[in-house]
Amino acid sequence: MSTTTGGYDEFVYTTGDELWDRIHQAHRRFAALLSVTPGKTEIKGSDWNAAQVAGHVLTVLRRYTDRDLGSRDGLSDDATAVTQQNQDELAALGDYSVAEVLDQTWQALADIEKLLPRDIDLHQKFPFHGGQEIDVVGALSNLIGEFLIHGRDVALARGKQWQIGSRNAALILTTGLQVVPGYLHPDAPGDLKLKIRTPESNTWVLDLAGGELTSRKAEPREWSDVSLYARTEPLLLNLYGRFGLPQTTVHGAVLVGGRRPWRLARLPRTFVKP
């Protein structure tokens, strides 16, 4: 795999060192929480318990190590089919203890770091579910998301606070914004150009026109139907189905303009729920 001396500056600017440092920090937090959480702890809003959350995260890591990253084999053709793939892979783990899963998670992460090392070209792309592609930043930020978003689910089930953090949220959003075209609802209500600004990122555009969605960095002075300013953590939790639009607004999302701001009402019906 090739390396590059150029920087990575898409939704966020980042480096391989930052990504791997944050992956390891997120993993340690996740492992510490799960190691002291009863496996049968039920997760609010989910059919899983804490042990199944741990098992699911391991299955996601194995999608990096147990298949050819350049192939679509082992990926879901339809983004909405990922839910069934998650269930099938979790069931295939059989009986296990949380301790066993956490041990295997440490090894899987070490194997991933060999495949996608700190000096890899961050622009290199790989296939993803739903016919989408992600680059190395999207692939690595996805790991941060698995540990921190699912860690949050478990922490809340135990009545504990769990902060994802604005910088981590910005990195995880990189993954979501790369793959969001795969979650376009087949009956999306109409054209919509949404400009997203956050304190942690470059300005981004989701542009739905003629039934096709593009997700890209905004051009200078580019117009939009709707311009949204948001803190990264509530925006992330909305994109990943943990916050509804009202909660996102309460926690720091503000409609700041656009040519047709009323088209914001189309947003909840534009995407399939993850």
What are the sequence ranges of the domains in the chain?
8-181, 184-269
- Name the architecture of domain 8-181: Up-down Bundle (1.20)
Q: What are phi and psi of 182, to 5 degrees?
A: -75, -10
Closest by CA position to 23, among listed 101, 98, 108 = 108
Question: CATH assignment of 184-269?
Answer: 3.30.1050.10
Whether 63 and 119 have beta carbons less than 8 Å apart is answered as no
Give every CB contact of residue 249 below 8 A, 6+ residues apart in sequence. none
pLDDT for the residue numbered 5: 44
What pTM was computed for the model? Answer: 0.93
Burial of 136 (0-12, 13-18, 19+ CB in 10 A): buried
Equal fold, 8-181 vs 184-269? no
Q: Tell me, what's the pLDDT at 246?
A: 67
Output the pLDDT for position 6: 57
For residue 185, what are the contacts with CB-CB under 8 A and spacing of at least 6?
269, 270, 271, 272
**pLDDT at residue 273 in the model:** 74
Q: At 46, list the tokens.
A: 């989910």
Asked if 54 contacts 102 with a C-beta cutoff of 8 angstroms, the reply is yes
The predicted structure's pLDDT at residue 78: 85
**Residue ranges of the chain with per-residue pLDDT less than 50:** 1-5
User: Which residues neighbour 181 within 8 Å (Cβ) at sequence distance 6 or greater?
Assistant: 132, 212, 213, 214, 215
Distances (CA, A) of 145 to 57, 95, 249: 10, 25, 22
**pLDDT for residue 256:** 83
